[in-house]
Amino acid sequence: MKKGLFITFEGADGCGKTTQMKLLAEYLEKNSIPTVITREPGGKGLGEKVREILLNYEGPVSDRCESFLFLADRAQNIDIIVKPAVEAGKIVLCDRHIDSTVAYQGYGRGLDIERINMLNNIATNGKKPDLTFVFDIDVETSMKRVGSEKDRMESAGIEFHNRVRKGYLELAKQEPQRIKVLDATKSIEDIHKEVVGIYNSIKNNIKFTDY
């Protein structure tokens, strides 16, 4: 069966990944390539409810509970949105995925990374994205872009966000084939050109993993 592709967009809050994801979607649609957009947390339906808790709940949330909520949302996103679309030959673009949990809950919150990898594996049935873009940005600039209206995760502090950034760069070192780091301080147009360039240069060389 012809398979589509699963591409994820990662990086700090305010790095511009959502804008870049939408621009790539427009580019693909202009080229008549069937494309689906989703996000974590909160693709649609049940996922939106989990997102509401994760970002807006005001009582105490344990770090492990937070991880499980992200993972529950991930399993739902993979089973209901990503897998059927990829199997139907579509390109699925997803705003955040497994690397967010390693960067935020692992590097940021300090939870055991081996365990997170194991749990990510369960949530995704062991399937990693075919390609991942990390939009790298210094914490000061990203926090300025986010502004003063911060959600629960964005309010976690400078040190936390520095660790998250380090986590992403570490991941990219470990998996250079899958994870491509882009400088998120460049202009939207320049970054878009880089995204399209990378997509076009590797789209035919990606080996698909079955779910």
Q: Which residues form the interface with ligand TYD (CB under 6 A)?
A: 13, 18, 40-41, 55, 70, 95-96, 100-101, 104-105, 153-154
User: Which CB, 18 or 141, lies closer to ligand TYD?
Assistant: 18
Q: Contact at 8 Å (CB) between 133 and 8?
A: yes
> Which pairs count as long-range contacts for 181-187, CB under 8 Å and 24+ apart, including other chains?
181/134, 181/136, 182/133, 182/134, 182/135, 182/136, 183/136, 184/11, 184/12, 184/15, 184/16, 184/17, 184/135, 184/136, 184/137, 184/142, 185/137, 185/138, 185/141
CB nearer to ligand TYD: pick between 40 and 130:
40
Query: Which residue, 22 or 203, has its beta carbon nearer to ligand TYD?
Result: 22
Task: Name which of 3 and 178 has its Cβ closer to ligand TYD.
Answer: 178
- Smallest distance, ligand TYD to C-beta of residue 1, A: 29
Q: Which is nearer to ligand TYD, 49 or 197 (CB)?
A: 49
Structure-token pair, residue 29: 């649609």
Find the shortest distance in angstroms from Cβ 7 to ligand TYD.
15
Token duo for residue 27: 């580019």
Q: How far is the CB of 70 from ligand TYD (least distance, A)?
A: 4
Burial degree of 137 (CB within 10 A; 0-12, 13-18, 19+): buried
In whole angstroms, the minimum distance from the beta carbon of 10 to ligand TYD comes to 9
Burial class (CB in 10 A: 0-12, 13-18, 19+), 183: exposed
**Other CB atoms closer than 10 Å to residue 136's CB: what's the count?**
19
Q: Looking at beta carbons only, is 3 or 22 nearer to ligand TYD?
A: 22
Nearest-approach distance from CB 142 to ligand TYD, in angstroms:
9
DSSP state of 34: -
Smallest gap from Cβ 200 to ligand TYD, in A, equals 25
